[in-house]
Chain A
Amino acid sequence: MDVELLEIRQHMGRFPPFDAISDDLLDELAGSVEVAYFKAGSDILLLDQELHELCYIRSGAVEVYRRNGELYNRRGEGDIFGQFSLLRNHRVRYPVRAMEDTLIYFIPEAIFHRLCEEDELFADFVELLRPRLESAVEQQKKNNDMMITRVRKLVTRYPVMVEAATTVQEAARQVTDYGASAILVLDAPGDNPRYTFRDSEERAWQVCGILTDSDFRKRVVAEGLPPDTPVGEVIGDRPIAIQSDESVYEAMLIMLRNNIHHLPVMYRRHPVGIVHLSDIIRYETHSSLYLVNNIYSQPSAAGLARLAPDVSATFVRMVEDGADSRMIGSALSTIGRSFTRRLLELAEEELGPPPVAYCFMAMGSMARNEQSVVTDQDNALVLADDFDPERHDTYFLELAKRVSDGLDACGYPYCKGEIMATNPQWRQPLSVWKGYFRDWIRDPTPERLLHSSIFFDLDPVYGENVFVEQLQDLVAELAPKSPLFLAAMARNALNRTPPLGFFRTFVMEKDGKHNNSINLKRRGTAPLTDLIRIHALACGSRAQNSFSRLDDIDRTQLLAPGVSDKLRYALEFLSMSRIRHQVIDLQHERAPDNNIEPGNVADDERHNLKDAFQVLSNAQKFLKFRYPIPSTADRRRH
């Protein structure tokens, strides 16, 4: 690699779609760009101008306009534009103007087409029909595969390196200080150009060996060598290394073949990290089963509470293992349900068998199997119709209290809206519950439904499941026939909107206000879940999970072709983004929340977030149009 192009190469290599292309193509790309500066306010592309280059924003920001002069989009550092013109008639359809002082890299058409031909992911990315968000989500799925995942993904930090003249004692001290388990040994360039590189100060080095924890034992201590022996004298033959764009699978094979546990990872001739066998094993295992097993074997509520830290550990592990939001949501809901069931079992052991049959019901994210690590409890009790409050309610109140307190102790705080079985309103016989639902659906106003929409995600957790299933049936039967109900729900679903713009350091709100933090649940996943729920209710779906609901919606003509896929990708992306930020919080030993700060969002993630917010915004517009408040004449008919 020409060192002089590193500036350009490194910048482009951080942004999609260039982050995924091979090193060789990236080098070629960097060497062929043309550069131009545009002052804020100046035109970059004029309408109908001929265009034979893809444009890449190196710094600054631009505004993209529609033919009619309306603002279409804003793009910032690392974004591309002009690809549609290149794929079509080479005429600019969306004129572009510099919003800030902007530096553009122009990528020649020939290179652009070669990238499309030689790199499928790149083609997917720029193609009109496979928008960015979609390819990002599919990329995440593919990442889960050892054969495809590049070993550089397992590299989390720079290797510890010492010169050959360093004493073994000093080397051991450095390994310890860095919490590493191996160290690379460097020497002056010699017989092995493949391992010769320049450090950040342009000094040339050759990697001449690796010294691992066990080498310190076998080659130093067991041999009785003094602590001042130079490391160069104890290292073995030439180190075996792997190139950073090889697969994880290949890394595993090399380790097995050579019987080594540490494998230096090189970018070209430059060492970038050391992968340990355990990194690969960890990469391949995902399991939340241990925790669930553990929950059912706890003899007391106190024992359950002690498992709370394991929930976040399981969560972090799953995310690191590349699980998607559906797997994570389902695993966390299973864990939450297991806590609830075990608490009920323990309560029944102490309080005796229930006087009448009951079903413990979950609402909200647990019902949808979309729980996260930041969640409060939403639950209720559906009792058999022979329930007599005078004689039986003492038992069920106590039962509800034990579950609620127990869940709180396990990290599921009390519901602020009092949607818990401890609230007498939500501890009622089946017939009363049926009355609640009929009432909400037949006589709806947005105000009345504001706090009850959570009941339209409902699922049995323990007991007589059939009670809750009957409620699900009732909703599925009544809701599609009540346009007024759907309209009221739709109105409420529009209360929470995505931000208008999402920039490097702030989000822009409708009124032009800048915020430097955004609640990704309130502004993203929740409104998206809300609107999916309404479509699902409209088509009589009994599904509770948002993805399953979309499957049901697909069987109808409710949404235009392709729309439900966009919603899936947007939900997956917003959920994963929220999940990843929670992982970051947990790794920094902070309480996880639903907020993200744009300043902490990686550039590629910001691009996808923008797309997801756009999908949400469009879907909200459609919702408003699809479920209008019926005229008074219509109302009378119902």
Chain B
Amino acid sequence: MVNLRPARHRASADWPAYLADRAARRRHPLLADYFATGCPAPETPIAEVPMVAMDMETTGLDARRHAIVSIGLVPFNLSRIRLAERRYWVVRPPRPLSRESVTYHHITHSEVADAPDLEVVLPDLFEALAGRLVVVHYRHIERPFLDAAVQARLGEGVRFPVIDTMSLEARIHRQSLWARFRRWMGRPPVSIRLQNSRARYGLPAYQGHHALTDALATAELLQAQIAARYAPETPVGQLWS
């Protein structure tokens, strides 16, 4: 059997092997090039890893029923967030926009109607992602949506390691002894949403719901988390999932 569908929770050390495997078995050249760039070894210090913060606006929360509306990317590493190299695309979802998602994202019907299909931006998207570790806040949106969208267009899916700033925040605030103690005391759990997480590190409040602003906000949050809770030497394998 060809191992095209990896287990949901794959051990982190498997990521380089998985990507190499995918590169070898590629059918679509676009994906082959992407997978060929591989990813850093799990023991690489986070300070040496080129990253890219990604955020998407989608028409809903279910990758099987909803679609991507916009994608924002901001390349960065531990020392700098390179806003000048930011990328942003609005794409036309195959399914029409629902009224609710319009009010949620402030992206209008006319804006979307003029936008290209995701397939047109895929080459640019993969080029921007290649060689960079993706960083998201809440991985259960960006990764499955991209997987489903690419599957639908290129006939094969795409999976890659991500650092999820929300799960890093959850490790501290939801899984620690202190967090369990709080729960036992009947206290509400600490919010690990992007804005609330940022506030804990003294990061300014941004207007949410724009893919690029949120990507920038996520990159800043990861820098803050590493500075406060980890170290530049922390192996990337401890952070990705």
Give A residues with C-beta under 8 Å from B: 2-8, 11, 31-40, 42, 58-60, 100-103, 106, 198, 201-204
Contacts and interface: CB of A to CB of B under 8 A. Distances in A.
B202 A101 contact: yes
B80 to A, nearest CB: 5
B170 interface: no
A31 B79 CA distance: 18
A106 B80 contact: yes
Contacts of B206: 7
Given A38-B227, A202-B107, A202-B108, A103 B204 contact: yes
Contact of A35 (B210, B211, B216): B216
15 contacts: A2-B212, A4-B212, A7-B206, A31-B83, A32-B84, A34-B82, A34-B83, A35-B219, A36-B223, A37-B201, A37-B203, A101-B203, A103-B220, A202-B106, A204-B108
A223 B111 CA distance: 41
Q: Which of A33, A34, A203 has the most CB of B within 10 A?
A: A34
A37 B224 contact: yes
Interface string B55-87: 000000000000000001000100111111010
Given A58-B204, A101-B203, 8 more contacts: A32-B83, A34-B81, A35-B80, A36-B81, A37-B223, A60-B202, A202-B107, A203-B108
B145 to A, nearest CB: 20
Contacts of B185: none
Contact of A201 (B106, B213, B219, B228): B106
Given A35-B81, A36-B79, A4 B204 contact: no
A3 B223 contact: no
Interface of B is mostly: mixed
Contacts of B201: 37, 101
Nearest to B107: A202
A555 B223 CA distance: 57
Contacts of B83: 5, 8, 31-35
Nearest to B70: A4
Contacts of B82: 34
A35 B216 CA distance: 9
A35 B80 CA distance: 6
A30 to B, nearest CB: 8
B72, B83, B216, B220, most chain A CB atoms within 10 A: B83
B213 A59 contact: no
Nearest to A7: B206
Contacts of B3: none
Shortest Cβ-Cβ A-B pairs, 9 listed: A202-B106, A101-B202, A4-B212, A35-B81, A37-B223, A39-B227, A59-B204, A34-B80, A37-B224
Contacts of B160: none
Nearest to A108: B84
A8 B76 CA distance: 17
A60 to B, nearest CB: 6
Contacts of B110: 204
Interface residues of B, number: 32
B138 interface: no
A58 B206 CA distance: 12
A106 B76 CA distance: 13
B228 A35 contact: no
Nearest to B79: A36
Interface string B79-98: 11111101010000000000
A101 B81 CA distance: 17
A313 B227 CA distance: 54
Given A4-B86, A4-B212, A34-B81, A39 B106 contact: no
Contact of A42 (B80, B207, B227): B227
A133 B143 CA distance: 52
Contacts of B207: 6-7
Contacts of A101: 201-203, 224, 228
A545 B8 CA distance: 80
Interface in B97-148: 103, 106-108, 110
Contact of B220 (A3, A37, A42, A204): A37
B202 A100 contact: yes
A58 B220 CA distance: 12
Contacts of B212: 2, 4
B84 A31 contact: yes
Nearest to A11: B204
B212 to A, nearest CB: 4
Nearest to A202: B106
Contact of B203 (A8, A42, A59, A202): A59
Nearest to A100: B202
A59 B202 contact: yes
Interface string B186-213: 0000000000000001111011001111
A198 B108 CA distance: 10
Contacts of A42: 227
Contacts of A4: 72, 86, 88, 210-213, 216
A5 B86 CA distance: 10
Contacts of B228: 39, 101
A204 B106 CA distance: 10
A39 B224 contact: yes
A6 B86 CA distance: 14
Contacts of B219: 35
A188 to B, nearest CB: 10
Contacts of B220: 35, 37, 103
A36 B227 CA distance: 11
Contacts of B227: 37-39, 42
B35 to A, nearest CB: 29
Contacts of A35: 76, 80-81, 83, 216, 219-220
Contacts of B106: 198, 201-203
A151 to B, nearest CB: 27
A467 to B, nearest CB: 63
Nearest to A58: B204
A118 to B, nearest CB: 19
Interface string B166-182: 00000000000000000
Contacts of B76: 35
Contacts of B103: 201
A336 to B, nearest CB: 47
A32 B80 CA distance: 12
Contacts of B210: 3-4
A78 B202 CA distance: 15
Contacts of A39: 224, 227-228
A7 B201 CA distance: 18
Contacts of A11: 204
A101 B203 CA distance: 8
A503 to B, nearest CB: 15
A4 B214 CA distance: 9
